[in-house]
Structures are given as structure tokens and as C-alpha cells.
A and B are shown apart, each in its own frame.
Chain A
Amino acid sequence: MAKQLFEWDYAGFPGAKTYPHLFKPIQIGNLIIPNRIKYAATEENLNGRDGFVTDAGVAYMRERAKGVVGGLCFMQGVYMDEKRQGQGYVGQAACWDDKFIPGLKRIADAIHDAKAVAGFQLMDCGRVGAVDVEYGHGPSAVPQRLRIFRPIKEMTKEEIKEMIQQHIDAARRGIAAGFDVMEISGIVGYLVSNFISKYTNRRTDEYGGDIRGRMQAVVEIIQGVKAVCGPDIPVGIRLCAEELLDDVRGNTPEESMETYKIAEEAGVDYISVTLGWQESIYPVISRDIPMGNWIHLAKRAKEHVKVPVQMAYRLFRPDLPNKAIGAGELDIWEMCRSMIADPLMPKKVLEGKEDEIRHCVACNLCLARLFRDAPMTCYINPVCAHETNPEFTDPPPAQEPKEIMIVGAGPAGLECAYMAARRGHEVHVYDKRDTLGGTLNEARKAPYGDDELWTCVEYQKKMCEMAGVTFHLGSEVTEETIEDQMPDAVVLATGPVYPELPGGPHQNVVNLLDVMRGTAQVGEKVVIWGNRKPGIGCALHLARQGKQVTLVGREKTAGFDVNPSFKWRYLIYLRQNGVKVYNDCDIERVTPEGILIRTYDGYRIPVACHTIVNSDRVANEALKKAVQSEGIELFVIGDALVPRNLSSAVHDGYRIGMRI
């Protein structure tokens, strides 16, 4: 008999009317899940280096559990071997001994407190593992493509049997900890997918060979885990629908579909569709990939198996899964990053508060941090990984309400504004532009998905409205304005300034913002000065208009300010668009023909061009003295303090808003 763990009634909620397919129940194995929402397993590096669950990890999960409004909430994949070859992240939760059960139980309990269904994930990171030991393990010793990963030792048959048993034992511990659903992770090049792929499995024994042989270890894992889970705890698996490893002769999509059928035969109760490997040269989840790009893979999966099919991958808007579920192409909407960025995302959808969602901008900083052994951080959500700290989650009211003048309605100013207003301050935001958003108005025009960055401003605008912030747009703040208003505190969020190029004003030098706005005259051959993200965005914008573009800058690599999990995309796009790049260089002089650049070690290169676009930024000193000389409390945030990126603007704004 199928059972439901918690009662939920969505009938009175507006989201259930707008997205009816998301808020109807589904049966998985013998469990009824009240809706179609799942927070997918997510490493966050918040556990101890010894694999024990921490308060930070529990608090992180507690927030996400509230978000799924009764749906599935999965904890991160656990590693299962004492030798730690399966451990892919320094702060990954462990489950190789019963001693980990009490900590894991805290997570299951936190999920249940929110009346959500608690999911446990078994994840041996295989080729991407061994983060703290010398060698990783795998079906065959295929060298690593990416140097950051450890060399692999081929597993003996005994070791394979041991690994299968480790999955079974860990599943038993997960059940003992109180989890309701069991999942085997075969995602992005971890051990399960290493066995399945012909790229990494070159064995000739019963664990290798054709697709059935390569699935043998997986089948034994499924059967063993099913046996300990019994009829009441559904078992699912995450499997690649497309490996995107054609360049190294990985599996074909047909073979991948075969793995779905074999997993179903072996007894899984659902399949979660994944794609791509860490080692694949194709992007899958970065901002340059349109939302909903991969949903056809769920449809394909549904054509091959009968068990419910779940999928994530850039499904950042509820209309996409709602439509797919309605059309019978998907059963459950999985989310990872949307709920890193806003833990309550699906709850807000249900409550009809979509304009209150802080949207993920698909920058992959969260991932990049994990690979650098750092705790998770979100580019756009300053609270992420600070869930234990009430100062972050619920900043206390200001002890002494103040009148605050915020100069600049860009992301830094807006973030600070709503936070300060929420805490009881009277907040006035000024901007000389007559629109909100500051330089993001121009930045969003860069190609490859940057328009999505604008969601940040939309969210902030809504938050400001709700908090009662007063806007003074089209109104430039001068020293006199400050003298007249005499606020209690001033926050300068004025954005950066663009210093002149060497040799004084030049006729053929234009500003980045004018170029992005389309108000500057730009010749056919263009040099962009500044190889950080704004320069890259502009270079790609112009190259796509057919201009011949050269990017020159002081940073050692272009996109120094972009996290490595996204930067590689820009480097490829620069190449594809024929942009020539000179890193680690300065402009020695502007010449009548173009510029003379100087490498860090003194070599000079003439670069001919018609136009030079200046994207180099420095801190903005304007108004600082005026504020200080009046004895007014002063804060400087965002690019006005140090030119960085959108994330720094948001984080600066939030933190000052919390403190002021």
C-alpha cells in the first residue's frame, strides 16, 4: 500500500492554479510525494574534514527543506569508503561507519520538521574523488584530462565487490538515520558513470565490455540497495542521458538510454536524468546555455522507461517544468542552483510570489568554490552558507533608526537599501540616471546570457518596494545636496570611474558604457582596454557585430574576475569570435594608428585600430570628502570602493545594510 508521509493541501494557493502540474501528487515506489518538486543533492563543503555533519550543514538543509513545500529534499551525496578514495570534496559528508548516523539523522530530522520527504544520496566520486588521498579508484586506470584530479588506480574484482557492499552498508545507515528515499548518484563522471562509460571502463572481465557488462556493477549496487531498502523506501538513480564525451569516444546517447532500461529492470523506482561530465568540453549548466535547453532529454527518457523521470539542468522558471509535466515529458522538477540562490524558490512559486524570488544567474561560483576546497558561496545570495547565523538570516532591527542617503541605484546600493530599510531605517536612494540598475543596464547587453543578470535588479526593486525605500531617480547628488539633506549616514554606491588612457584625452578613445548603450561611434578595428569581465563582455558584443576586436589588459589571464567554472566559457567564446587577446600588458602610448602595448617584461607591440574602448575602472573618490567634512557616517560599497563584479556589489550592499 502506498503511503504519504505528511499531509499537504495546495488548493488555496495561487501557484497551484498557475502551475497545476507542479502541485499534484506522484507515486514513487510505494511512497506518495505530494508535489513534483525536488531539491536535488548538492555538496556544499560545510561538513567537517572528517565527514561529520556540522551545524552549518544542518541549517543549510533546514532552509531548503522549507522551500520544497512537502516535496523531495535531498541531502548531498555521501562518500562511503574509509580509504576516502570516493571523497570528492573536503567537506563532503561521510557514511562509511555507523558513527556518522547521528549527524545524518540531524539532517533527516531537519527535513522532516518542514514536512518534506528526506532523500539520501550515495555518491562515490570515482575519477573526481580522492581529494585528500594520493590515488583515486575506477574501473580502469585512464589518465585524467584535468590536472586538478588525482591519478586513478584500476579496481580489482575484490575492490569492486567491496565498493558495492559499501553502497549497501551506507544505504542501511541512511535508513537508520531516518531518510525516506535512497538515491544512487551516477552524475558528472563519478564512479557509477565511470563504470558505465566506455571512455573510462576498458575492462574485459564481467564488469566491462558491452553496455550490459559496464552496467554490471551498477546493477549489483541497485539490487543490493533495494534489498536493504525493502518495499517502503524507494530507490532511484541519477544517470547520464548524454555524456557529451564524443571527443574521447564516450557512450552514445543510444547506449545511455540502454542504461536507463537496465536500471529499470534492476528495480529502480525512478530515474533522474543528468548529462555531461566534468571532463566534457561542452557546457551544460552555465548562463550561456538557455533555460530549458535539455528538457528534451527527459522526454527521451520517458520514451524508454516507465518509472517516473526527474530532471534539473537550467529549469530556473516554473513554467518550463509545469509545461513538460503537463505534456507527459517529465514527472518531477529537480532544482539545485535555483535553491542555492533562493532556498524558498518553489515555496514562493506556490504562494504566487514569483517576483520575490532571488534568481540564480548560472555563474557556477558555487561549484568553483567546491573544487577549491572552500565552503560554498553563492554569487547572488549573501546568506548562503551563513544559515546558522541569525545576523545574516534575520538581521535584527536597528537600535537607532537613521535617515540614510544611498547614492547610486545599482546592485550595491539597492541591496543595501532594502536591507537597511527592512531593519527600520528611513532610506533614500538617489541616482543621476532615471532608471534603477546602475551599470548593470549596460552590462546586461553583453552576449551569452548576461541579460539574466538583470533578475538581480528586479528582485532588489521588489524588496525595496516592500521595505519602503524612497527613490530619487534622475537626481544627481552633489556636495550641496548632502549639506542640504544632512542625513545621518551616507552610503556611496556610485560605481567606478574610468581613468584616462596614458597621454591625455584621445579622439578615438570611447567609454565602455557608451559602446554598450550603442551611443559611441566604433570603427571596424577595435581595441578594448581592460581584460576583466566588462572588457570581455564588450569584446564579445562588438565581435558579434563583425568588428575586428583585440582585448588588452593587465590581468595575467582574461577574465581574472570570473570564477574558473565559467571563465573557460569566455575563453572559448573569445577564440570562436576571433578576438585577439593580449594579457599581462599595459598601454604604453596611444598612437595615431592605434596603441603601443607593453608586456609585463618590457616587450612592445604595436596594435593598429580605429577605436579604443576604455573598460578599465578604478575606485570612485567623489563625495567622500564632502560627507566626511560634514561629520556624517560614511560607507563606500561596490565598485565605488574597489571595482569588482556584481557579486561583490550584492554582498557589500547586504553586509553594510545589515550593520548600518
Chain B
Amino acid sequence: MAKPTKPLYSSLDEWVDVQPLEQYEKVNPLAPIFYTDEYKDATSYFRGIVKSGEMSPRVLDLTEHIIRLNPAHYTAWQYRYRTLMSIKAPLDVELKLMDELAVKYLKTYQVWHHRRLILTETRDPQRELAFVEESLREDTKNYHTWSHRQWVLSHFNDIDLWRGELDFLDTMFNQDIRNNSAWHHRFFVVFQSGVREGEEDRERVVRRELTFTKQNISFAPNNPSAWNYLRGVLEFNKLPFSTVTTFVFPYTQPTDPEAVDLVDLDNPPPSKQAELPCPAAIEFLADIYESEGGESLLKANQLWKSLADEHDTMRKRYWEYRIKESLQKGST
């Protein structure tokens, strides 16, 4: 049993005016949890406080105590927020506390949401992006942390905040080009949140993104995040997949031991140690053939068949479905 971090409220004079409330009064509950005495005591006093409606500085102590014992106690968070607002507590102090708790309880919804509520009040996001970057060091794919960053950017929508995002992403990609959260963030920043200063030339932006993606595919072709991004960029900008046929083709072929090093920024070839052919490239090429229709459908079918039978047998059913679907489309 965990050592209590504080004396029990039931032993403290300053809490004697609060009537603690048992959790289950008239019911013999099924599936109860065996709490520690400390937790039971704190939550009994909390139920008493909620019932009386008291909002005071000591409620902040009590809710912090409960949150430290169980950061997913959303009612404690909710009541804490109401209390902060009601007694007009200093929010910079609250944010300091949140710095500590966010890193400690990274995977909890509530720590991130509470932070958001406080920032909405203070309207001061200046150090927020640095804080997020720091937390991502602990857990580079944390869903809440990334969503929080995206919220900060789009909610405050301040050009000074947006400005550093591509550089920030470079550091993330340098660590791990397979981090899908970073790829998603890139899409969010470049395409989905409006057009910002310096990014007005969309053709240039698309070219830049295609070059970036191809380069990353050439380093490690079997990276589904990069292929998904490539699809996303083309689809979002209503460009046909055939825009990149020349680039994709070598990735659908077996590794070529004779290959010489080429520097071709538009169509970077696979690295020497790439494990080829790459199923994502075969799928991509099949999509190109399918959209060409006519004779090319046959080529698409052959590629899907090679995925079904050899290169991606786990998804056999799906590739067979693609064949079936395309034949049906072709016959009508």
C-alpha cells in the first residue's frame, strides 16, 4: 500500500466543518475498487465539498491532491477549474503547476485540456510551443501533445507562432522520419490551416513538399508515413498520381546491384540498401494504371496480383477486391 503523502483530512482541524460523503451509502456495490485510505479520505471530502458548493483556496489544495493520486479524475479537474474562475486565482501560478503535471501525466486527457482552458483565459501562448517541444522529448508520438500544439497554432492563429513550424519539424524528422505524428503535423501546417505569409505561391509550396517527400522515401522506401503523405499532397492539390510516375517506378523493381549513384532531386533513386520492391510503391503504381483505364487496367491487375500473392499477402483479400472492383468498373 502506497505511503500517504499527506495527513488524512479527517484528522485535520481546518477541515472539521466539511461533512465527508461516503461513495456508496445504500448500495453494496459490484466491482468496487480497493482504494488506499488516503484516496478514500480525500475523495470523501471532495464529495462533501461538491455537495456544499464551496469554492475557496483550500479546494485548490484538495483537488490538486486528488489529481496527483488519480489524474483522470475529471470531476476534480472540472471543479478545480470552476474554483479558479470563481476566486480569480492567479493563472500563471496554475500554468506553472500544469508544466509539472503535464509531463508527469502525459497520457491523461485532462492535463492537456485543463492547460487549454487556462490558456484560453490568459491568451498568452508565447512559451507554449517550446513547452510542447520539451514534452515531446518524453514521448515523441503522444497524441494529446501533438493535438495540443495544433490547437495552440490554430486557436491563436498568430503568424509569429506559425513561423517556426517547418524548422521544428525538421528537428523531429531528423530524429525519426517514421514518426507519423510529425508527418501529420506537416500536413496540418502546410495545407490545412489556411495560407500564411510567405506561403502564398502554392505551386512552389507543392513542389517543395513533393521534393521533401521523395527525398525521404529515397532514404527509407518502406516507410508508409511518407507514402501516405505523398498521396495526401497530390490528392489535396488535385494532382494526378501520374505526376510522380517517373519517381515511383524504380521503387517497384527489385534492388538493382548495378545502380550508380545519381543525384536527381526531382526523382531521387532508392538508396543502395533499400529493400525492394516496395509494396507501397507497387500499390501507388497500380493506382496510376487504374486511373489511366483501358489497357492499363491489366497492368494494374498484375500489380495487385503480385501484392496479393507475393509482396503483401496479409492484405490478399483487399488486393483481390481491388481487382474485382476494377474489372467491374471496366465492364460497365
A binds B: no
Residues of A bordering B, CB below 8 Å? none
Residues of B bordering A, CB below 8 Å? none
